[in-house]
């Protein structure tokens, strides 16, 4: 890594304390008031799973990437603490002149790049000499990333089950405005399927509670379709989530599993990649490519 260069590893964020939920949901909703029913339901889900490991695992991923890249790695969350603003301020204090923005959301790099640029502008406006930003390209087709998912999924496969790959849904309005999310998700799902050499279903999960049109097919409708074909079970792999969070620990392990069992489908769920060596390798390669450095 060039001198005075660092990495910003950024993700969606979570809460350390359930009392932070109102402000967290307010940020997710872009400042729109949080309905009491939504707050109560979200709190119930967090209480049921115990807590989200997202921040802890992200910090562990950062430590692994730091060793691999040979440069400081700062963690900043888009919608929670520690924030991107705080991460950039820490980098500036350490004399970092350039920081590579690496979202742990390979299909939404542009969203996190915009958040990082806005945070940098706030830092500059406060009189701080902020590091220049270099943003990685969308990295969902990194070969190490695809192989890591295939390696995680392969032990769960059996002849009697259908593989279901899942990613977070997105409001259709965003897609109509040109968001590349769906295309990139489908490309990576196809690459994983080719690596495994098996057919699969792609489903979009965790649609928002506020209504409106969301990207599908939903996981619910996919499970129903699989059952209608007479399949015995499903292997669900949330390749769109790199760390366990409420969307996997509740939406899949509680809600979707109950639906599958209610339909009489066998259920197996592949864990998120977490600390997988292939994930760290993919992150490091994305950083090297962004800097024009051979990896």
Does the pLDDT at position 68 exceed 60?
yes
Task: State pTM to two decimals.
Answer: 0.95
Same fold, 5-139+276-291 and 143-269: yes
Query: Per residue in 259-268, pLDDT tens?
Result: 999 999 999 9
Would you identify the CATH topology of the domain 5-139+276-291?
Rossmann fold (3.40.50)
Ranges of each domain in the chain:
5-139+276-291, 143-269
Q: How high is the pLDDT of residue 1?
A: 72
pLDDT tens-place string over residues 134-144:
999 999 999 99
pLDDT of residue 87: 98
The predicted pLDDT at position 209 comes to 75
Q: Is the pLDDT of residue 295 over 70?
A: no
* H, E, C per residue of the chain: CCCCEEEEEEECCCCCCHHHHHHHHHHHCCCCCCCHHHHHHHHHHHHHHCCCCHHHHHHHHHHHHHHHHCCCEEEEECCCCCEHHHHHHHHHHCCCCEEEEEECCCCCHHHHHHHHHHHHHHHHHCCCCCCEEEECCCCCCCHHHHHHHHHHHHHHCCCCEEEEEEEECCEHHHHHCCCCHHHHHHHHHHHHHHHHCCCEEEEEECCCCCCCCECCCEHHHHHHHHHHCCCCEEEEECCCCCCCCHHHHCHHHHHHHHHHHHHCCEEEECCCCCCCHHHHHHHHHHHHHHHCCCC
User: Which CATH architecture is the domain 143-269 placed in?
Assistant: 3-Layer(aba) Sandwich (3.40)
């Amino acid at each position: 890594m060039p001198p005075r260069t660092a990495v910003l590893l950024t993700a969606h964020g979570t809460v350390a304390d359930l009392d932070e939920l109102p402000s967290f949901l307010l940020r997710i909703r872009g400042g729109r008031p949080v309905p009491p029913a939504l707050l109560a339901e979200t709190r119930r889900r967090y209480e049921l799973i115990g807590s989200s490991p997202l921040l802890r695992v992200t910090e562990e991923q950062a430590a692994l990437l730091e060793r691999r890249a040979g440069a400081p790695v700062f963690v900043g969350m888009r919608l929670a603490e520690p924030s991107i603003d705080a991460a950039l301020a820490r980098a500036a204090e350490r004399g970092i002149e350039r920081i590579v923005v690496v979202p742990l959301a390979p299909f939404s790099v542009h969203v996190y790049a915009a958040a990082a640029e806005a945070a940098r502008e706030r830092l500059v406006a406060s009189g701080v000499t902020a590091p220049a930003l270099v943003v990685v390209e969308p990295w969902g087709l990194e070969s190490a990333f695809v192989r890591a998912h295939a390696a995680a999924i392969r032990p769960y496969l059996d002849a009697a089950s259908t593989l279901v790959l899942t990613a977070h849904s997105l409001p259709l309005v965003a897609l109509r405005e040109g968001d590349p999310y769906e295309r990139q998700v489908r490309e990576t799902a196809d690459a994983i399927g080719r690596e495994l050499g098996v057919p699969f279903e792609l489903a979009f999960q965790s649609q928002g509670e506020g209504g409106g049109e969301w990207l599908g097919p939903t996981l619910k409708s996919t499970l129903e379709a699989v059952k209608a074909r007479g399949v015995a079970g499903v292997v669900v792999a949330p390749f769109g989530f790199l760390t366990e969070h409420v969307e996997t620990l509740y939406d899949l392990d509680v809600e979707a599993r109950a639906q599958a069992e209610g339909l009489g489908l066998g259920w197996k769920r592949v864990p998120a990649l977490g600390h997988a060596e292939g994930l760290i390798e993919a992150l490091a390669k994305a950083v090297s490519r962004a800097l024009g450095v051979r990896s």
